[in-house]
Amino acid sequence: MTFLPVILWSDVLIWLLFVAAIVFGALSLRNPLWRTAWQRVGRSRAGMASATVLLVFVGVGLLDSLHYRPRLENAAGPQTATAAPPPTATAAPPPTAYAVEVLSLLDVLLTPLRTRNEKTYSEPLATRAYAKESIESRDAAGELQQSRDYPRLRHGGAHLGADEARRDGDVGDRLLRAVSLAFLAWWAVAAATAAGVARAEACSAPAAWRRIWSNESDFAWNAVLAAVACLLLVALPLAMLAGQYHVFGTDKVGQDVFYQVLKSVRTALVIGLVTTLVTLPLAILLGILAGYFRGWVDDLIQYLYTTLSSIPGVLLIAAAVLMMQVLIDNHPQWFATAAERADLRLLALCFILGVTSWTGLCRLLRGETLKLRELEYIQAAQAFGVTDLRIIGRHIVPNLMHIVIIALVMDFSSLVLAEAVLSYVGIGVDPTMISFGTMINNARMELAREPAVWWSLSAAFVFMFTLVLAANLLADAVRDAFDPRMAGSA
């Protein structure tokens, strides 16, 4: 094998969540009430546009969640202590060895971005470094000469050779090609959509086209197409330029900022999604138990969540993360690679965030269960002697799911924002793990430089803002569709 798959815990969880979401989506479509709610989401233009954008982010995150360790070329390094198969007696093939570095599928796609590091800062699309350095060169006479100048970048615009003045023309040329390609791609997508709509709604393609743009179809295709247009107009030029330039510049150690931004997406998604795996079971189980059984069960659970929520969240997280760090530092033997260590810390952070954030949802579900259990259909079930467990499973949980879904999508954006703050404070993800928080933390002092290094922060800002805004807009659409007060009958 040329590689050794590495299964990180967070990979497992995030794929599990992905599959669970698909299964749940398919199941919920079978119930007409859920179906109409999802259809309402589908009609929301803001919701569908942001869902399209989010899907791109999720795609990046999923690609970044398939990890492996490549095989080393000369397979005899001592660094392969782990994972090497036991040498057989024949010893004919030398034991295969794998690199310590854990790569993901995304890393492979972004190999040029990942490997072509400069020495230090460089501006977006620059061909030369950002600060002057002493450069040694030999003049015509062969004398060693020292001069202070902006050194040429090793990779940025390297294809231009000495002809740096050609850069603007080259960039413009690439942009033009990218934009025309984007137009072609968009027309292809739009035509395919129109054909699909035409088939689904049994009308001619031009009629379907008109329906899409005059807002008459049952799904906000126009918003999706508009979002696709924006995405293509951004993504294709970036892709065209990223091969030869550092589109968003490089950071202090010369790493490409565009690469960092893309890697941050997965961290944000893991924090935003995996945390709910901790929150939901706790909140749903305890909330329903408290609301349904009341009495001392209720008292105990209320005490538990009041106590937990009375500790200010940041401080509890700080304390827990500090303790986690002590635990990790004292047991280095647990981890084969740095990636696994960082991954465990990421999961620990998710766990702690989950533990501190389940109380709100729990309180909400408890209150709703209290109301539900007095409803007449539950009393009718009790009159049949239906067991409590069955009543909870068939009557209470299905009627609480809309609250859970709303809470889930609403929490996502706040968790992504929280990660940045926590990482900045130093109680977030592992400092070696690329995330929006660590990017901001590393770059925040650079604005004070003269002249300011602005690109790292700006890139992090734009990507994070897009992600959170899309999540917020989708959350609004989902809330409007699922909240029975807004939806009329339920």
Partner 1 sequence: MLAYLVRRLLYALPILIGVNLITFALFFVVNTPDDMARMQLGVKRVTPEAIDKWKAERGYDKPLFINDAASGSAVLTDTIFFSKSARMFAGDFGRAEDGRDIAREITSRMGPSLAIALPTFILGLLVTVSFALLLTFFRASYLDFWGVVLCVAMMSISGLFYIIGGQFLISKIWRLVPISGYGGGLDAWKFVILPVLIGVISGVGSSTRWYRTIFLEEISRDYVRTARAKGLSELVVLFRHVLRNAMIPILTGVVVVIPLLFMGSLLTESFFGIPGLGSYTIDAINAQDFAVVRAMVFIGSLLYIVGLILTDVSYTFVDPRIRFN
Partner 2 sequence: MSGAAGVSAELSAQLSEDILLEVRDLRISFASGRSLLAAVDGVDFRVAAGETLALLGESGCGKSATALGLLRLLPAAGRMPGGEVLFDGRDLLALPEAEMRGVRGGGMAMIFQEPATSLNPVLTVGHQIGEVLERHLGLAGQAARVRALELLAAVGIADAERRLGEYPFQLSGGMKQRVMIAVALAGNPRLLIADEPTTALDVTIQAQILELLRRLQRERAMGMLLITHDLGVVAQMATRVAVMYAGQIVEEAPREVFFSAARHPYTQKLFAALPDLARRGGRLETIPGQVPPLAEMPSGCRFASRCEHAWELCRQQEPQGRQVALGHRLRCHLDRLPDAPGGRLAAPAAAGEAALAPGAPLLEVQDLRVHFPIRRGILQRTVGHVRAVDGVSLELARGRTLALVGESGCGKTTVGKAILQLIAASGGSVRLLGQELGGVSGKARRPLRRRMQMIFQDPFASLNPRMAVGEIIGEGMSALRIDMHRQGRAAAIAAVLRQVGLEDAAAGRYPHEFSGGQRQRIAIARALAVQPDLVICDEPTSALDVSVQAQILNLLGTLQAELGLAYLFITHNFAVVDHLAHEVAVMYLGRIVERGSVDDVLRSPQHPYTRALLSAVPSARLDEQPEFIRLPGETPSPANPPAGCHFHPRCRHASAACRERYPETTTLSSTHTVRCHLHS
Q: Which residues bind partner 2 (CB under 8 A)?
A: 31-33, 375-377, 379-387, 390, 394-395, 398-399, 489-490
Between 178 and 481, name the residue whose CB sits nearer to partner 1. 481
3-state secondary structure of 162: coil
- What DSSP state is assigned to residue 454? -
What residues have CB less than 8 Å from 471, skipping those under 6 apart?
50, 54, 272, 409, 412, 413, 416
Name the minimum Å distance from CB 460 to partner 1.
Answer: 9
- What DSSP state is assigned to residue 125? T
Between 342 and 422, name the residue whose CB sits nearer to partner 1. 422
Single residue of 14, 468, 477, 478 touching partner 1 by CB under 8 A: 468
User: Quick check: 413 binds partner 1 (CB under 8 A)?
Assistant: yes
Q: 48 with 223: CB under 8 angstroms?
A: yes
Between 32 and 332, name the residue whose CB sits nearer to partner 2. 32
Residue 33 interacts, among partner 2, partner 1, none and using kind-specific CB cut-offs from 5 to 8 Å, with partner 2
Residue 306 interacts, among partner 2, partner 1, none and using kind-specific CB cut-offs from 5 to 8 Å, with partner 1
- What DSSP state is assigned to residue 80? G
Q: 164-203 mask for partner 1 (x: CB under 8 A)? A: ----------------------------------------
Residue 420 interacts, among partner 1, partner 2, none and using kind-specific CB cut-offs from 5 to 8 Å, with partner 1
Between 137 and 307, name the residue whose CB sits nearer to partner 1. 307
Name the minimum Å distance from CB 267 to partner 2.
Answer: 37
Question: Between residue 429 and residue 448, which ones bind partner 1 under the rule CB under 8 A?
Answer: 436, 440, 444, 447-448
User: Quick check: 377 binds partner 1 (CB under 8 A)?
Assistant: no
Between 179 and 318, name the residue whose CB sits nearer to partner 1. 318
Q: What is the sign of the dihedral through the CA atoms of 208, 213, 217 and 222? A: positive
Q: Is the peptide bond before 451 cis (omega within 30 degrees of 0)?
A: yes
Tokens 């398939």: give the residue: 66
What residues have CB less than 8 Å from 277, skipping those under 6 apart?
13, 17, 350, 354
Number of H helices and E strands in the chain, helices first, is 18, 5
Between 247 and 290, name the residue whose CB sits nearer to partner 2. 290
Distance CA 450, CA 430 (A): 30
Q: Whose CA is closest to 251, among 460, 459, 443?
A: 443
Name the minimum Å distance from CB 62 to partner 2.
Answer: 31
Q: 304-343 mask for partner 1 (x: CB under 8 A)? A: --xxxxxxx-xxx-xxx-xx-xxx-xx-------------
The values of phi and psi at residue 122, to 5°, are -150, 150
Between 156 and 249, name the residue whose CB sits nearer to partner 1. 249
What tokens does 90 get?
């024949």
- H or E element in which residue 301 lies: helix 295-310
What tokens does 231 get?
């995405």
Name the minimum Å distance from CB 362 to partner 2.
Answer: 22
Q: Which residues of 200-232 are buried (b: 16+ CB within 10 A; e: fewer)?
A: eeeeeeeebbebbeeeebebbbbbbbbbbbbbb
Q: 342 with 429: CB under 8 angstroms?
A: yes
Question: Between residue 265 and residue 304, which ones bind partner 1 under the rule CB under 8 A?
Answer: 303
Between 376 and 450, name the residue whose CB sits nearer to partner 2. 376
Distance CA 86, CA 295 (A): 60
User: Quick check: 486 binds partner 1 (CB under 8 A)?
Assistant: no
Residue 394 interacts, among partner 2, partner 1, none and using kind-specific CB cut-offs from 5 to 8 Å, with partner 2
Q: Where along the sequence are the contacts to partner 1 (CB under 8 A)?
A: 303, 306-312, 314-316, 318-320, 322-323, 325-327, 329-330, 413, 417, 420-421, 424-427, 436, 440, 444, 447-448, 452, 457, 461, 464-465, 468-469, 471-473, 476
